[in-house]
Amino acid sequence: MSDKEIIPYRPGLEGVTAGITAISDVIGAENRLIYRGYDIRDLAEHCEYEEVAYLILYGDLPTQSQLETFKAQLRASQQLPEAVYQTLKTLPREGNPMAALQVGVAALGMHDPKASDNSHDVNMQKAIRLIASMPTLVANSYRILQGQEPVSPHPDLDLAGNFLYILFDREPEPLHARLMNLTFILYAEHGYNASTFTARVIASTLGDIYSAVTGAIGALRGPLHGGANEAAMEAILEIGTPESAESWLMEKLAQKARIMGFGHREYKTGDVRAFILKQHVRELAEQVDRMDLYEIQETMERVMLREKNLYPNVDFPAAVVYYLMGIPIPLYTPIFAAARITGWTAHVVEQHDNNRLIRPRSDYNGARDRVFKPIRERG
């Protein structure tokens, strides 16, 4: 490659096309997100998560018959092998839930005799297994870290409802189940984000789907990606009261602190997923009599827009929704993974189906032509 062919470096690879996909598109200028051509607003309003998972995997919305068959496949794969639970029980109680999730996915791969088979049909079978078992793994790995026994999935609940059922060992409130289903849909897929790109890089080496997902979980763990929802909720709790919200935020901005849950590289006029989810926060806050959290959120949004021209991203309302459901904060990022597993696996399948090793170049800015000295001559 000649110097004239070198594409100028952009920090964070912002705006650089790294691949081609038919799975989703983020149209930031229009504040739109589409899954396989369908607008996220329509999917969020009319679909259950399983329908969206089918769409992302197969490329089309299912018929009723196809959906029932797909749900049956998911139900058959929700439970984890006992050996995976035994592995999780060896982990330290103070361990990070995302690290436990990586261990669980790796263990699932160890117990899959077809783990190294990257053919399309086998990959689709593994994708279904991972989509079905990830909510179970997230909830039960956290229970194990808390010294509790795993709970088996409920045969009559969907994936989102089962996550709540397993975590709390009781059937979820209908509103909670509905909103968890909604957050699963909103988090299911989002283009070449950091974790998805990580999964595709690993898949491009012909690494198996479990290895790719394990790597994606590691990328999601960072506070600039999946961890933003946890940081956003911690900030809201630190503020404490609606009356303190504006002064707290102005002080943080004066210190040039980063306010998590605001801004998104792709969306310039607001994250469409945040707009969708925010419509339901008040309903949930009223149900559990915590309007103070809703009011803090409202004040923060108003001040951030006024002072920084930044809108909330999906992590901001999601954090409040999860907290109002009683979900422990350390589980917010693992929940993200439980939903995004659909996008990750679809991208791995797409990568393996038309693979080329992802191997970008770098521009070197270090020293050149240094004179070597034997160790005895180095002063």
Q: Which of 112, 176, 190, 264 is catalytic?
A: 264
Angle formed by the axes of helices 174-187 and 159-168, to 10°? Answer: 120
- pLDDT-derived band at 12 (thresholds 50, 70, 90) equals low
pTM, 2 dp: 0.93
Q: How many CB atoms lie within 10 A of CB 123?
A: 23
Of the options 1.10.230.10, 3.40.50.300, 2.40.110.10, 1.20.1250.20, the CATH number for the domain spanning 228-324: 1.10.230.10
68-114 per-position pLDDT tens digit = 999 999 999 999 999 999 999 999 999 999 999 999 999 999 999 99
Query: Is 352 an active-site residue?
Result: no
What stretch(es) of the chain map to CATH 1.10.580.10?
19-222+329-353
- pLDDT-derived band at 7 (thresholds 50, 70, 90) equals low
| Residue closest to 187 by CA, chosen among 313, 329, 37 | 313
Instruction: Kindly give, in sequence order, each residue whose CB lies less than 8 Å from that of residue 352, ignoring residues fewer than 6 positions away.
Output: 118, 120, 123, 203, 206
- pLDDT-derived band at 6 (thresholds 50, 70, 90) equals low
pLDDT at 14: 67
Share of the chain above pLDDT 70, in %: 97
pLDDT at 261: 86
Q: Which of 112, 208, 315, 347 is catalytic?
A: 315
* CATH number of this structure's domain 19-222+329-353: 1.10.580.10
Q: Which residue has the tokens 């956003």?
A: 232
- pLDDT-derived band at 5 (thresholds 50, 70, 90) equals low
Task: Kindly state the average pLDDT of the residues 53-81.
Answer: 98
pLDDT at 4: 44
Q: 296 and 242 in contact (C-beta within 8 Å)?
A: yes
Q: 229 and 312 in contact (C-beta within 8 Å)?
A: no
**pLDDT at residue 3 greater than cutoff 60:** no
**pLDDT at residue 2 greater than cutoff 60:** no
Q: Alpha carbon of 200 to those of 5, 10, 154, 356: distances in Å?
A: 25, 20, 33, 10
Task: Kindly state the average pLDDT of the residues 151-163.
Answer: 97
Q: Are strands 32-35 and 38-39 parallel, antiparallel or unpaired?
A: antiparallel
Cα–Cα dist 266/190, whole Å = 10
Query: Is 264 an active-site residue?
Result: yes
